[in-house]
Amino acid sequence: MASTAAEVHHLPATPSTPHHTLLQHALSLARLCPRSTTAFSVGALLVSPTTSAIISDGYSRELPGNTHAEECCLRKFYGTVAAARTAATGVKQLEPKDVDYQDGQVSALFEGYGGEWELDLYTTMVPCSKRMSGLRTCLDRIIEASKVTSPDGKKLIKRVFCGCGEDDRFVKEGNWAEGVLRDAGIEVWWVGGLESECRGVAEMWLEKKTDKPTAAKQEGGFDGKSVEASGAGAGEMPM
Ligand SMILES: [Zn+2]
């Protein structure tokens, strides 16, 4: 619904804000990503908007399988919610590390949730909107989370902060997360000044780097030259 579309914000490189600091922390997580020559290395945080406390975190391939940063961050968060629910109800909840929650299951998990709402998600690269592997995208997962609302109508996730866009080396159609997030009522914030660093870390295991890094464009895209996807290493999964 266009009438409820959320805004897009662009934070300049300076002055540095707590958002820059949190994104730097996400970058430090991205540096922990296990090697893959066929996928980006990304870090993500879920943060309290009132205290700036980090509620969950994740990085690419942290959880077993071909996992993404935002996916790991959300599934670990759901794991803590599931554990709290198990403790409160005495009924063993499914653990997100063992089962991947789908639509409906996530909402059910948050019935009676006593934690914070309107969380901020930080990711060093805009959430993926298509995966060559056909696996569920981070965009889908964030939209799913945004459907979880408090009794007074607050969304579980309100803002997504991004360090850089996604180029078209893997997904030739590019990335359309910004528009989908906005239409779902989630604010998109581009954090200026960290794009080159976020991109450099995202590409750290790829064989071919972006040949024309840029910090100029921050509008959900990336205007560097397209680079052919590198050859897959033995046993490696597509992103
Ligand atoms: Zn993703």
Under DSSP, is residue 108 helix (H, G, I), strand (E, B) or coil?
Answer: helix
Distance 43 CA to ligand 1 centre (A): 10
Distance 135 CA to ligand 1 centre (A): 9
Distance 137 CA to ligand 1 centre (A): 5
Distance 96 CA to ligand 1 centre (A): 17
Chain centroid to CA 68: 8
Place of tokens 């290395």: 41
What pLDDT score does 65 carry? Answer: 87
Q: What is the C-alpha to C-alpha distance for residues 224 and 44, in angstroms, rounded to an integer? A: 23
Domain boundaries of the chain, sorted by first residue: 2-202
pLDDT tens digit sequence for 32-77: 999 999 999 999 999 999 999 999 999 999 998 899 999 999 999 9
Selected from 3.40.50.170, 3.40.140.10, 3.30.450.40, 3.20.20.80, the CATH number assigned to the domain covering 2-202 reads 3.40.140.10
What is the Cβ-side half-sphere exposure of residue 171, based on CA atoms within 13 angstroms? 22
pLDDT tens digit sequence for 69-126: 999 999 999 988 988 888 888 888 766 665 666 667 788 889 889 999 999 999 999 9
Strand partners, 190: 10, 162
Taking only Cα atoms into account, the Rg of the chain, rounded to an integer number of angstroms, comes to 17
Proportion of the chain above pLDDT 90, given as a percent: 63
